[in-house]
Structure 1
Amino acid sequence: MISIPQPQSQPHVEGCPIVALHDSAIDAEYFLRAVFNSSFFELPPAPTTYPIVASVLRLSTKYEVAYLRQRALLHLASASPLSLEEYVASSRHSTPRGTKPLAFCWPKVSA
């Protein structure tokens, strides 16, 4: 993008071209935080939430950021039983492989 001449009509901020992203604002926020702040999205068993994992997984897949995609998949694997034995154990209020489950944050539906 930098080496290819850009049209003069393209909007700029402080001399830099504006790049439009067609992703949700919250997905972009979580993804960029994960890229630029290493403590925001650490490897499991570091705590995180489902919306963060989902956003990072979506955009790391889309933009081919392999290390973040792998990290998101590890978070999902650590929160979900991978075998029947782990499922049965988790239904007894224990967590698989000694990790804490992700906090699933679902919006409240008003009637």
Structure 2
Amino acid sequence: QEEREKRRLEQLERKKELQRLLEEEDSKLKGKSPKQVPAGKVTRAQIEETIRKDQQQKENSETVEKEKTHLEVPLEENINRRVLEEGSVEARTIEDAIAVL
């Protein structure tokens, strides 16, 4: 008897919660729908404004894309491959290094 009563109460609580969530979702959807529908008439100023904004966005995107590529940047000298200066000696093994000293 008590278990049945607990189950019934839990089901009622779940049902109320689901109903509340449904109502919240409906109110959100109803609130958004008028904003999504554009006005029937558009003035010339509004059209010009949208065109101007589009052009600005294109210009901004072009400036971002104009970063230097690897072809435009000069190569840096590889310090690991430097040509030995005159008077310096190259030693690749320990024996060669000791012999140079």
Larger helix share, 1 or 2:
2
Instruction: Name the TM-score class by shorter chain.
Output: under 0.3
Under a length normalisation based on structure 1, what TM-score does the superposition of the two structures give? 0.19
TM-score, normalization by structure 2: 0.20
